Structures are given as C-alpha cells and as structure tokens.
Structure 1
Amino acid sequence: MSRRSIKRQALQNVGLFPARTSFLRRFWLDSFTLLVLTACSTSLYAASYEDWIKQARQGQYQSAIAGLQQYRQQHPQETRVQLDLMRIHAWAGQPQEVIRLYQSWPTNLPLPADVLLLTARAYKDARQWTPAQNLYREGMRRFPQQAAFTMGLCMSLADAGLTAQALSCAQQLQPATRQNTMYLLTRSYIYRAAGQNYEALRFSQDALAVQPDKTDVIRDYDQSLHAAGLHRQAMEWQTQHPDIFSNADLADRQADYAAELTRLSPQPTRTLPERFLVANRAIALQDKLADSASFLGNPAFARRIRGDRLIAMDTREDAPSTVDIAPERAAQYPGYAYASLGALQLRARRPEQAVSSYERALAEPSLDAKTRTRYQTGLAFSLLESGREDQALALAERMEKDMPATRWLRGNPIPQPNPGYTDALILKNSLYTYTGLLKEARENLGKASAQAPSNVNLRVPLADAQRMSGMPRAAERNLKIAETYAPRQEDVIISQAQTALDLHEYRQAEELLAYAKAHYPTNMRVAELEKDWQSYRKNELILRSGFETSNGGDISGNDGIRTEAQWYSAPINYNWRATALAGHLDTSDELGHNVNWQGAGLEYRGRDWQSQLTINNQNWGQGNKMGASLQLDHELSDHWSIGGTLDYRTLDIPNRALAAGITANQGQVRLRWKNGPEQWVQAAYTGTKFSDNNVRQSLQITGNQRIYTSPRIKADAQLELWASGNKDEDRPYYSPRREYMAVPALRLEHLLYQHYDERLTQALTLGVGLHHQSGYGNGTVGSVAYELNYQHDRNLEVGLRLQALSRPYDGQREQQYSGMVELKIKF
C-alpha cells in the first residue's frame, strides 16, 4: 500500500463523511444541531408555561402574568395564552383586565365555558350589567347543563336592582326546591342585593341544612350573617372554619365586630359600673387587630382600625394622651372618625385643632340630620373655646333657624315637637350663657321650659344660666324638678353640686361630688367641679397695695401708700374660716405720721347668711388701740339681700382725724336688689360718731343697668347718688354741713383674652355729674377709671385699678389720683 492510500484510509476513519463530501457533511451537521436546539427550546418553554400556571394557582398572580405576557409576545398565534391570562386576571380580582382581553378576542372564536363564565363575572363586578347578562345568556344557550350561568344571570339581575326578574330567573334552577343548594344560594344572594338581609339569612340557613360541608354554602352563610349585622356570629363562624377562611377574612370579621361594639358603646347600660364595658371590649379587640398581619400589610384596614379605636376612646372619655390626636397625624384616621378626633382634641384643651377636625367631619358626604347636628354642636363649642365667640353664636343661631320646631309623623295628623330643634335651642342658649348673654339665655330657656316642663334637657341649662346670673335658689328649684324626672342624670347631679357650692351648702356639695366622681369619673364637668371644690378647700391670701394723692385739700385724708394683707384659712367644719390681717399706711402729707393695724377674726359662710368678726390693733403714733368689726349679710332671696356692719374704732376714718387723736365708731345698713348681673340697685346708710362728738350721716344709692352685651364687650349705665351731713363743721378734718353728689357714668368692659380658666379683661368708666356743698354752691364732678384684671385660674387673680377724680372742695377745684393693685392667691 502506498503512502497516499494509507493517508486516505486514515481520513476515512476520522470523519463521518469522506473528505470529498465536506459540504454535505456540514449541511447534515447544522440541520441536526438546529433540530436538537429547537426541541430543547420547545421543551424549556413548555416547562416554564406549566410553572406559570402553577404559580397562578398558588396565588402568585403577578409573576405568572408577567411570564405569560412575555410568552404571548413571542407566540402571538397561540390563543391559549390569552385564555390563560383571562383566567389568571379573574383569579387576581382584576375584572377590567379580563374585559380588555375579551374585547381583543377574535369574534369568530367561541370562548370555553369557564372563560366565558369568568368574563361574564368580570362585567358583573365592573357593574356593567347589560354585557354581563348577555354573556350569561350566551352561556345558558351554549352550555345548558351548567347551572352557573343561570345563577350568574340571576345575580346580575339582582345587582342591577331587578329583584322581581331575578327571583323569576331563579325558578329556572331545577329543581327549584329547598333541597337544591344552588337555588337556595341564588335566592340568598338576590335577597341580600335587595337589602332583605334576614330573608337572605333564612335561605342561607336552609342551604346549610342541606349541605353543611360545602364550601360555597359555608361562605354564603358567612356573607348573610355579615349582611344581617350579626358580626359576632360571623366572626365565630369563620373561627370554626379556619381551612376555608383566611386570616385576612377573619380579621375583617373581627374588625366588623369591634366596630359594632364601638357603635353600641354609647348606649345606656343597666348599671353605671357597666358603662364602659362595651367600649373596653372594642378597644381590646382593636388593639389585638393592630398587631395583626392585616393591619401591617393593608393601609386601608389599618386606617379603619385606628378610626374605630378613636371613636371607642371618645366614648370611653379617656384622657387624650392614650391616643394620637396631633393634627399632622389626622390623615391616619378615616373621615368618619374626625368628629371623635375633634372631641378628644377639645377634651385636651386644643380647641383650634378641634375646629379643623369638626370642619373636616362636616365635609363628609351623606351625613344624616342627627349626626350633622352633633358635629355642629362640637364645632360650636370648639369655636367658643378658641376665642371665636361670634362665629360660634352665628352657627348656633343658624342651626336653630334652619331646624323646624315641629315634625310630622306618618299616620299622625298632629305635628310633634322636633327634638332636633330643641337641641339647637339648647345649644344656642348654652352659648349665650357662656358668653355672658345671661338675660337672653334665662328668658329663652324659661319660655321653652314652661312649654315642656318635663324636659330635663331644658331645665338643666336653664338652671346653669340662673346660677351663673347669681340666682342659685331659682337654679336649685329647677334642678329639684329635673331630679324628679331623671334623678341620676349626670348633668342634673353635677349642676346640683355646683349650685350647692354657690349656696354654701358645702356638705351637700361634697356628697354630690363624691357620687359624681364614683359614677362619672371621666366626665369633664366632674373634673371642673372637683377643681371648684379643691379651690374652696384652700387657704386664701389677699394682698392690696395702692396710692392716693391730690393737689388740693385732701378730702379723704388718706394721701399716701396703703398696703394690706388678709389671710383666710382653709375651711373649718365646712362653714368657718379663721382670718388674720395686717396693714400699713405710709402718709405723704404734712402730718408726717403712719398708721399700722393688725387683726384676727373668724368668718362664717352658710346658706343665706355670711358674717365676719375681727378684732384689731391700731397704732397711728399715739399708742396701740383696740378695735373691732362685725359684718353680717343675709340673702332674703335671689333678688333681695340686707346687711350691716358695726365698727368699733373704725379704720375708715380720715388720717387728719387720727392725727388729731380723734377716733370713730361706725355703723352701716345695706339693702340690695338685683336681677342678675345686668341690673341692680343698692342703698347704704352709714352713721359715724367721732370721739369729738361730731356725727356724720351719709346715704349712698348706686345702680347699674346693662345697655349692651356681646361676647367681648359689655356696656353698663351706672348712677351714684350720695348725700352726707355732719353735726359740726369746725373740725380738723373735712366735715361740711351738707354735701350732695349725683354722678351718672358709663362703664365699658372688654374681654381681651380667654382660654378656659385664663382670662384677661379691661374696663373703662367715665362719669360726669354735679356736686353741691353747703356754703360753696354747685360744681361739676368728673371721673375716669381704668381697670385691668387677669385671672390665671381659680386660684390666682390679679387686678389693677387707676382713677382720676376732679371735684370742688371748699370752692376750690381738686384733682385726686389713686391706684390699687390687688392679688388673690389660694394655696
């Protein structure tokens, strides 16, 4: 064999094809490779396709949809991809996507039964009733053995509001008897859609009796329980079937039950200790749900739980610190909870924030009349406490104007009183009371109460208006009448306690307060009453310091700086207080001596009677002298009172008399008539016997008539008539034989600031009148006084008064200037 032959044989053994056929060899090799790759690719796609379907069936919808959409782009001719996408979108609860894919489906290709049913349901879920019904009818025609299409048509008719047609359609589900669960479930659905929830529940119970283990029957029974408002039973039903209902489903039912408890929590209970049991149960369940996966993973569910818990907290009247009421966090609550947010903010003394919350609550659509009135009431009080009194009154007056006084009940030809009008009337006049329009409040509520004498809700605000007008006895009578109708109503008991305090019935007030604290511990009025009681039990210190100066003859004889401190002890045996005082007058006249005094005594405060006895020591540079003072006042009624004062060595004596070694004893008798703070007259007769045998007698009559009232400004017309006579004229102190003065004045009071107990007011009094002095004729009198008063709370007050007076004195014009600062502290 030659060398060439050996080489050819070797080449034949190396390759599959002879060297001379290299082109054919490459062709078959490439074809084989392509065939193998195609088979592998097809196998790979097939494996991925099945995985996507499995993922969808396991609830992983988005990854399956994304994979199938990519596959569809690469295989646009495969119709099965579009069908599977429609199925998965339906499983994922995306009806619009199902409809979109259906609309791109070739019209000449009929849909399989399951996809046709899913498409019809998608149109039904999208509330497109006509195309849904058309598809259901197509399914009934093409697949007459599948009752699901008939059920779907009946349900679609029910959703469209065609109840009669839906019930007629249900008769096509054969047999139409109570042994056919499909028929029963369809009837149940129809009745639920029509709002006949208890009829729906009856058919669900029938279906449950036939097939108690069927999943559709169990789910339908849950829906009927929920629709019928049986939320506790629905929650327990899902708890009994954990393999059918998910944790999210159970959380929804628990939230429904918690909301039901929240709605029930304001209702009256059999006993007072049970008052907050329902609210506590609601809050406990809501706190449990706040730690659930549904709360953490579902923002809408979380907002609902927060809102319901906020309402329960409002009912519970808890301290606002237990919930988040910051205005910047309001978005975490649903709209229906804004009123409770406003109530809690108002309870936390944040009225400006409460105004915003109530306004947002009122902006919610579809509020019924009763709810709107309740929200407007909260808004009115928020406006009041935030210093916008005019807006609060305008809102209350508009509410009363817009609300009819009577209403017509079906079947009753006689108009009946409208409770909404009564609520608006009470709100308006309560605001009148709190803004100082007391006369209007008393008159309006008095007329309304006379027309409805058994209405406790009218008598209590009337009593409050009377009490704040200085008429506690009238308030007491009204509250006694209210007590006969509602002996344990909160407002009755609290108002009785406040009235008892004003009447100095301290034991009665203490008992009523103890009852209110035990039974209504979270009521804000009880908290305010407790503050009043604690203020009554404190020591009291009154500090006064003032000056008086003139450029004339110093009629008063008290020029200089006067400082006085008086202390009252905490109550002793309810009605008694020990007192001590000390004072100093630093004169600035040519007499050049000072006056000091110290004293101690006892005060009594009881019903209708008040008295004070003080023993004092006086020193004006001529040794210590003992003095005494007895004051007695008796209130005959809410309108009339009398009083008297007896002073031995009175401190109310001109400094010039003391410098001359002259002392005086003084007696005074007072008579007062008042009709609230707006209208009063007082007459006081004073007799003074000096140690130099001079006798001075004086009569003073003062009166006040309110001429203008608004929440911020009050105007009073005042009159002072004064007459005085002295037995002897030739004395070292001012002692004219006869002296008369008549000074009408106008007093304007302006409320500068108020925030709950904190209050700042100013007042200006202008007076111009006539003065007559025997031997010197007539002259004019002019006076101007300015007052500034600040009250921090019940236990701290400070006031400033400045006055300028111009009057004749022995024929010469005198200008007198005075000022005083007074500080009251309770500790």
Structure 2
Amino acid sequence: MAAAPAQANDESPALTQARTQAVQDARNGHLVRGIATLESLHRTHPDDAFVTADLIVLMRLAGQNAQLAKLTEHTDPRTIPNYAVIDWARALRDSKEFTRARGILAPRLSDLGPKGDILYAMITVESGPKHPAVIALPKTSTPGLSPTDLADMAYVQRKAGDPIEALKLAYLALSRANQNPHAFRELVFALSDSGAANLAWEKAQERPSLFNNDALNRLRADVATVEIRNAVHERRRLDDDFDYAQRDIPLKRALSTLKKNQQRFAEDKPQALRTQYDRVYVLRTLEMMQAAIDTYESLPQKPATATKAKRIAIPSYVRRAAADAYLYRHHPREAAALYRELIAENPKADVNLFIALYYAYLDSEQYDRAEKILATIHRVTPTWRTRQKTPGRVENWERLDVDQLWAMDAAYRNHEDIAYARINILVDHAPRNSGLLNAKATIERWRGWPEQSLKTTKLAQAYAPKTKDTRLNLADNARDLEHFKTWGEQIRALNQDFPTDTSIQRSMAQWRDRSRPSISSEYTTGRSRGNSTLGNPVVGNRDQEWQSRLNSPWLANGWRAYIDQHYLWSSFTDSSERYNRYGVGAEWRGNRKHAWVSINNDQLTGRHVGVEAGWSQWLDDHWQYGISGNTYSLSTPLRAKQAGLSGKSLNAKLNWRQDETREAYAGLSVLSISDGNKRTDLAAGFSQRLFASPHHITTGGVDAFAEHNSRPGGSYFNPANSESLSVRLAHKWTTWRDYDRSFTQYAKISTGYGWQAGYGGAPMTDIFYEHIWKLNRTWDLHYGVGWGSNVYDGGREQRLYGVLGFGGVF
C-alpha cells in the first residue's frame, strides 16, 4: 500500500492528519474503516487531490473497481499524484474502460517509469491495437524490472500475436523467480499459443491450482485444435501416399475429442462455441457435408437467418467450411453469399476461394457472374511469385489452377472447341503435368472422343497412376468405350476410396443403373387434311403411333432382354388399318458394338411372325456403321397391309461425327414388298452448330432424300421416284436447370423442295416445338406439337401432330 504523502500546500493540518490516519487504519487491517473515513473526507473536500488519490488506492485494494470508476468519472487526471495513477488505471482496465485508462496513463508515462509503460501496453493490446502496444513496452534490459513485470510483458506479446517472444519473456521471468505464478501461467499460455498445446497441458498439470476451470477448458480446446491441425496434415500426407483407407482416421479421432469437449464445456460458453466452430471445420474436411451444415446452422448466431453483422462475427474458417458444404449439398446460392462475404473481408484471399465462388455461380446458372470472377483472377494472378527470404522467383501454382479453369470454363459454356485449344496450349508448356493431361482427356471425352481420351489418360497414368483424377478418367473412358467390366471394377474401387466424391457417386450410380430395369415410351398422334383445290387427291386422315419398350437389367456378359410394342394406326376415307406388334428380344453391348435380335407378331396371336436383327459398331471416334433387317417390316405402308401385302426390309447406315459441332449421315434401305415391288431409299444429311452459349445451342443442317420403287402404282402411295432437299434450323434453350433437373425448350423448322415423278416439284415445310423435362438423373418427360406441309400426287397435305413420351430407370 502506498504511503500517504506529506501535507499538500493547500491542505489543512487537520485534514492531512485525518487522511493519514485513514491510511494507517487500512494498513493495520481495517480497510473498510479506512475507506469509510476517506469517503467522508471526499464528500466534504471533493477537490482535494490527495484525499481522492488515497481513496483510489484503498478502493483498488478492496476490489471496488466499479465504485472507483464512478467516483473518478469527472476527476481531472492531471491533479492526481503519481502514486495513485497506476492503481486508478488498473481499476479502469478491470472495468473494461480502456479508453479512459489509456487517457490517464498516456500523459504521465514519463513520470511512471517501466511499470506505467507495461500497464499502458497491456491496456492498449486489450483494446485492439497490437503494434502500438508492443512499441510501448520497455526493453528487457531496463533496470528494475521484476519477474512479474516480465510476465506482464509476456502477456502483451502473446496478446499481440507473438507467442515465441512471449515464451522468451516468460522463461526470463522464471529464471529470476522460478515459482512466480504469473510467469508460470504466461509460460503455459504462450506454449499453447505457439502450437505446443500438449506440452502446455502437461505443464499446467504440474501446478493446477494456478488455473481455474475456464483456463483449463481453454487449454483443452487448444489441445483439440492442435489435434485437428495435425490430423489435417496427416490426411494430406496419406493422400500424397495414396493411402486413402487410412486418411480419415486421425480426423475422426479429433472429431471424437470435440464431442467429449462439447459435454465437458457445457457450462463454458466461449469454449463450447469454439468447439462448435471446430466441429463445422472437421465435418467439412471429412466431407460429412450435411452434418457440417446442421452444426453451422445450430450455432447460437443462427447464421441461416442472421443479419450480415451477426454472421461475420463467426470466424472466417467456419463460414468457409459451411460455404463448401452448402455448395456440395447443391445449395449454391447460400454458398455464394458466404463466399462473397469472405472475399469482401479479405480481397487478397487465396485463389481457391475465388474459384469456389466461381463454381457456386456456375451451379446456380449465373454464368455472367462466374465469368467476371474468372476474368478477374485470370488477370491478376501472377505466373511467378517471389520469396521473402530467398532471392529470385518461383512458380505460382495458383496460376496453373486459374489457367486450367480458364480452359474448362469454355467447355462449361458449350464451347468445347475453345476449351480444347486452350488446354492444348497448357499441355504444350507442361507436357508431363498429370492434372493438365487429365483435364485434356476430360474435354476429349466430352467432345465424343473416348478413344483419344483414353490415350491421353494413359499419358497421365504414366506420370501419376494413382491419382483420383487419373483413375476417374480411366473409369469414365471405360464406360464410354463400353468396357463395362473394367468400368465396374474401377468405379467400385474409386467409390471405396472416395465415397463422398460427387463425380464418383454419379458414375457409380450410372453403373448401378445397369442392374435395374428401364422403360421408354412415346406416343404420336396426327391429323392431316388436303386443301380445297378441286381434284386434290389428299382427303385427309388421322394417324397414331405408339412405341414402348421395357428392358431387363444388364447381365455381366453384356446381354439383356426386352419386350416391346409398336402400334401404328391410320384412318382412310372409308376404312382404317393398323399394326399392333408385340415382340420379345435380346441385345448385347460391348466395346462400342451393339447387336440385337427380336421376334414379333400381331397382338400375341402368333400371326405374321417377324424376326428383326441388327448390328452397329464404332470404328473409331468419328465413324459408325450399322445394318439391320426385318422379315416383317413396319415400313410397309398401311394401305399395302390393308391389301394383304407384307414386306421385308434391309437397312444400312453410316454416321460421321467430327465433334460436337459437326456431323453427317448417309443411309440406304431396301423394302421388298410381297407384290414384287422393291422400294429403295437413300438419305443423307449434314449438321453444323451455328451458335452456342451456356443455355442455348443453335444447329443448322441440310437433308437429302431419294426413293425409287421398281413397280410404281398399286393400292398404296408408290411413285416411281421421289426426291427432296431441305434445310433445317434447330434451337435448344435450357430455360431452367437445377443440377440433374432441367427444363429445355426445343424448336426446329425445316423447309425445302420435293419432287415426285409425274407431278413435278413443290415446296415443303415442317415446324416442331417441344418441351423436355429432366425430372431427375434417370427420368425424363417430353411433349411437343408440330405442323407440316407436303405434296402427294400433286395435292398438298397439311398435318398437325403431337408427341408425348417418357423414359427412365426403375
């Protein structure tokens, strides 16, 4: 306790004696009496600085900080003697009145010595500014520093974010007084803050009485944090060693520790909240995304509905983990909102945060915003970076990620040709980079070149055979090349190593689809009429067609069975006719080859039994041929069937596909009708993509057709020759898309000129509009309406028709 100063110049002897006696009473153990006396003197002499100063000292000694702060609320700091200033500042500090405390100390630092400097630094670091607090500290060589002073200096350094310097000061204090409790506590906390949490915990157990429950809980939480950090590092190491089966074990142990701490910290709200934060991060790292979202949304701040001001109080690493989880669980808008917040708080964040926002925009179909993000990071991310302590420059691997995304972005926007050109430039500069090779292989597969993609993937495999991207590309190529056994083996192995990877989950689901039955069905109905021209041979009719097929699961050997129905009906002026064929068949697929055979007959009656068989094969990534035949062909006109005729058909087709932008076809079919007529059809066409964007694709094309009948005339439409040439324009607009669900509008118009032997030529037109709903990954629904106009035997026919169909896997 400070001794009472000598009598002030303007203080009466009686007042000095009363004040001195109050201090002496307190020194003798009668603190309450001494405070009461000084309070009485202060009421009668409120402007006496020495009465106020002595009262400050005694009230601080009694722990009456709040009363002291109120008592001195209007006191001029310049009037208070030095001996009371430090006690006054400490009381204000304990009352969290940091600004007042700094204001009291700042003008008096030159008079207060090192203890004043240290207290000023402590108050400064607690009120926010870190660097000014460290600057205010005295040097360790300053004479008169006690072990407690050194411990206080360690406290400032630790709070300022320099636990290593705090450790040095704590050790220095303990070297002068090895039992100093304050220095020992600072040593423990500095050890924990510097990452040696386990050692800090062991030290704390040596003198547990120095630590209350809150401090021990904080040390336990630090131990859990170190366990998480070490588990994450170990997970990365195991990833690099391709030991996927073991990589999650350390993190799962850390998650168990967090669960125990949640129970232990039930009464310690700060540490309980910190544990919840860490739990969000660990769950996201383990890719337990829904659990991460649930934990995040259960935080006391209620972040799902909280204002931005409340939400940004949650640490950035927690919000970033939650954003990743939202994106994974197909909530891209929620993810994007969090990513934007994080970038606004730290515009110089790592590139991966910007890339994550890019994908959030992409998944929410906001391609324009994704483009701006990508353009920004592509412009500002340097190719090289410098090291602070090492001369020269080194590669900036973040730039490679940006350049690779720059290439893939074009493919996401339906510009696969641009994507391929960009990725080839990157591969030319880094021909052994497995990541770039796998990106190139992916684009090649998307362009419809699985054989070329496999060759590129095998190059990547030569450099990085065990990486996930290489293995997934091999599996997806096996799928597209119809190496089904290999695909199954590879995708099952991948799913075992990476059970939460969405790309692998999708391919695995497609593999499992092969063991499930599937169905497809489409119904078309139309009505035609002739114009009012006198003598028009076209009088109009109604027509219907319904095709349905039910497939069994695929067998391991590539075979499956199916049943189908094909119904054709048309009305004529005085009658109607139909086909209603039911069939059973089997088909085989493998190595991009397809064979099928079926037996069908009329309405399961056993009449008019027909056999259909076919074969098709891809010769490489560009050429495919197919042949088929039917002993009872439904290509035979219904009027011929009405006349008791039947037909046998043989078909051949050749397809060429350069890539997604350009393709062509040619086909030949021969129908041999039982009246001796041989109908030969030739068809050819070419398609060219004209425009593409993320939601729109426009395609143009030319189609040519020619038909020759060896015995023209008869009971059915059967000209000697007929030809047509038309151009077409088709547009597909993906109007809405939410991952596997989508709504697409499709429109096509074709127009041209047709010729018929004996009647000359005439224009022809067909317009079609369709809605296509992708209900989920395996089910779809489509319906449309069309109108066409053509000329038969010199008479114009106009036909209005509608289409309804669906398909899916059970």
| Superposition TM-score, scaled by structure 1 size | 0.80
Matched, 1:507 2:485: yes
Counterpart code for 1:424: V
Query: Residues 444 and 266 from structure 1, CA distance in 2 versus in 1: closer, same or farther, beyond 3 angstroms?
Result: farther
Range with bigger deviation, 416-425 or 786-795: 416-425
- Determine the structure 2 residue equivalent to 1:258: 224
CA–CA distance in structure 2, aligned partners of residues 477 and 247 of structure 1: 63
| 2:208 alignment partner in structure 1 | 242
Superposed, 1:575-594 pairs within 5 Å as: 575-589=558-572, 590-594=574-578
Equivalent-residue separation in structure 1 for 2:89 and 2:527 (angstroms): 103
1:173 matched to 2:178: no
Q: How does 1:367-382 map to 2 (within 5 A)?
A: 368-370=348-350, 373-382=351-360
Amino acid at match of 2:111: E
Distance 2:181 2:460 in 1: 59
Q: Is 1:356 paired with 2:328?
A: no
Measure, in 2, the Cα distance between the counterparts of 1:413 and 1:696.
81
In the alignment, the residues of structure 1 paired with residue 392 and residue 677 of structure 2 have an alpha-carbon distance, to the nearest angstrom, of: 77
**Which residue identity lines up with residue 328 of structure 1 in the other structure?**
A
Query: Which residue of 605, 625, 648 maps to 2:608?
Result: 625
Question: Is the CA contact (8 Å cut-off) linking 2:134 and 2:156 kept in structure 1?
Answer: yes
Query: For the structure 1 residues 490 and 696, does the alpha-carbon distance in structure 2 shift closer, same or farther, using more than 3 Å as the test?
Result: same
Within 1, Cα distance between the matches of 2:33 and 2:652? 104
Q: 2:419 aligns with which of 407, 428, 441?
A: 441
CA distance in 1, matches of 2:77, 2:116: 20
Amino acid at match of 2:56: Q
What amino acid is the match of 1:518?
Q
SS of 2:775's equivalent?
strand
> Structure 1 residues 536-545 or 254-263, which shifts more?
254-263
Number of the residue aligned with 1:310: 280
Q: Secondary structure at the match of 2:208?
A: coil
The 5 A counterparts of 1:251-650 are 251-267=217-233, 268-270=236-238, 271-292=243-264, 296=267, 298=269, 301-321=271-291, 323-326=294-297, 328-329=304-305, 331=310, 334-336=314-316, 337-364=318-345, 366=346, 368-370=348-350, 373-408=351-386, 417-552=395-530, 560-589=543-572, 590-618=574-602, 624-650=607-633
Q: Is the 8 A contact 1:303 1:334 kept in 2?
A: no
Find out whether 1:674 has 2:667 as its counterpart: no
Amino acid at match of 2:588: Y
Q: 2: CA distance between counterparts of 1:289 and 1:170?
A: 39
Cα separation, 1, equivalents of 2:161 and 2:204: 23
Q: State the match for 1:659 in structure 2.
A: 642
Quote the Cα distance in structure 2 between the aligned partners of 1:393 and 1:625. Answer: 61
Tell me if structure 1 keeps the 8 A contact 2:707–2:723: yes
User: Is 2:678–2:711's contact at 8 Å kept on the other side of the alignment?
Assistant: yes
Q: Which amino acid aligns with 2:571?
A: S
Contact 1:466–1:474 (CA under 8 A) maintained in structure 2: yes
Asked whether the equivalents of residues 90 and 118 of structure 1 are also in contact (C-alpha less than 8 Å), the reply is no
SS at match of 1:814: strand
Structure 1 residue 655: deviation in Å? 0.8
Residues 809-824 of structure 1 correspond to what in structure 2 (within 5 A)?
Answer: 809-824=792-807
The gaps in structure 2 that reach 5 residues or longer are: 1-21, 298-302, 531-535
- Residue 754 of structure 1 and its aligned partner are, at CA, apart by 1.2
Residue 636 to residue 328, structure 1, CA distance change in 2 (3 Å): same
Distance 2:725 2:44 in 1: 109
Q: CA deviation at 1:646?
A: 2.0
In 2, Cα distance between equivalents of 1:559 and 1:440: 48
Cα offset for 1:571? 0.9
User: With structure 2 as the length reference, what TM-score do the two structures score?
Assistant: 0.82
Residues 304 and 363 from structure 1, CA distance in 2 versus in 1: closer, same or farther, beyond 3 angstroms? farther
Asked if 2 retains the 8 angstrom alpha-carbon contact of 1:593 and 1:620, the reply is no
Are the equivalent residues in 2 in contact too, given 1:136–1:152 (CA < 8 A)? no
1:539–1:157 Cα change, 3 Å:
closer
Which moved further from structure 2: 672-681 or 272-281?
Answer: 272-281
| Partner SS, residue 793 of structure 1 | coil
The verdict on how the C-alpha distance between 1:462 and 1:71 changes in structure 2, with shifts beyond 3 A counting, is: farther
Distance change in 2, residues 1:194/1:738 (3 Å): same
Structure 2 counterpart of 1:111 = 83
Task: Choose 101-110 or 742-751, whichever is displaced more.
Answer: 101-110
- Change over 3 Å in CA distance of 1:97–1:666 after alignment to 2: farther
Deviation, structure 1 residue 635: 0.9
Q: Distance in 2 between matches of 1:210 and 1:764?
A: 88
Contact in 2 for aligned 1:535/1:794 (Cα 8 Å): no
**1:315 to 1:88, Cα distance in 2 relative to 1, 3 A:** farther
| Contact 2:82/2:111 (8 A) holds in 1 | no
CA contact (8 A) 2:69 2:91 kept: no
Q: Is the CA contact 2:120–2:136 (under 8 Å) kept in the aligned structure 1?
A: no
Change (3 A) 1:301 1:317: same
Quick one: structure 1 residues 108 and 70, their matched pair in 2 at CA, closer, same or farther if it must change by over 3 Å? closer
Residues 185, 734 of structure 1: alpha-carbon distance in 2 compared, 3 angstrom cutoff = same
**Residue 543 and residue 125 in structure 1: after superposition, are their counterparts in 2 closer, same or farther (change >3 A)?**
same
Q: Distance in 2 between matches of 1:716 and 1:189?
A: 71
Structure 2 counterpart of 1:809, which letter? Y
Alignment match of 1:749 (pick from 732, 735, 738): 732
- Following superposition, the deviation at residue 670 of structure 1 comes to 1.6
Measured in 1, the distance between the counterparts of 2:32 and 2:775 equals 73
Give the counterpart letter for 2:55 in structure 1.
V
Q: Matches of 1:530 and 1:457 in 2, distance apart?
A: 22
Structure 2 partner of 1:683:
666
**Is 1:627–1:647's contact at 8 Å kept on the other side of the alignment?**
yes
SS in 2 for 1:633: strand
Task: Give, in whole Å, the separation in 1 of the partners of 2:55 and 2:101.
Answer: 25
* CA offsets 1:791-813 (integer angstroms, 9 cap, x no match): 11232112223322212212221
Please give the secondary structure, in 1, of the residue aligned with 2:207: coil
Confirm or deny: 8 A CA contact 2:744 2:773 kept in the other structure. Answer: yes
In our comparison, the structure showing a higher alpha carbon Rg is: 1
Q: Any gaps of 5 or more consecutive residues in structure 1? A: 1-41, 55-63, 141-146
* Paired residue secondary structure (1:708): strand
Aligned partners of 1:806 and 1:70: how far apart in 2?
A: 112
Tell me if 1:770 matches 2:753: yes
Kindly indicate whether the alpha-carbon contact (under 8 Å) linking 2:117 and 2:136 is maintained by their aligned counterparts in 1.
no
C-alpha deviations, 1:308-334, integer Å up to 9, x for none? 221211111114146245553555770
Asked if structure 1 preserves the Cα contact closer than 8 Å seen for 2:522 and 2:547, the reply is: yes
What is the distance in 2 between the residues matched to 1:139 and 1:328?
Answer: 51
CA distance in 2, matches of 1:808, 1:648: 30
Partner of 1:11: none
Three-state SS of the structure 1 residue aligned to 2:737 is strand
Contact conserved, 1:121 with 1:132, CA < 8 A, in 2? Answer: no
- Preserved CA contact (<8 Å) 2:526 2:800: yes
Between the two proteins, what is the percent identity of the paired residues?
Answer: 21
The count of corresponding residues between Structure 1 and Structure 2 is 754
Question: 8 Å contact 2:188–2:200 — kept in the other structure?
Answer: yes
Q: Secondary structure of the equivalent of 1:170?
A: coil
Which residues in structure 2 correspond to 1:184-263 (within 5 Å)? 197-198=163-164, 200-202=166-168, 204-205=170-171, 207-208=173-174, 211-263=177-229
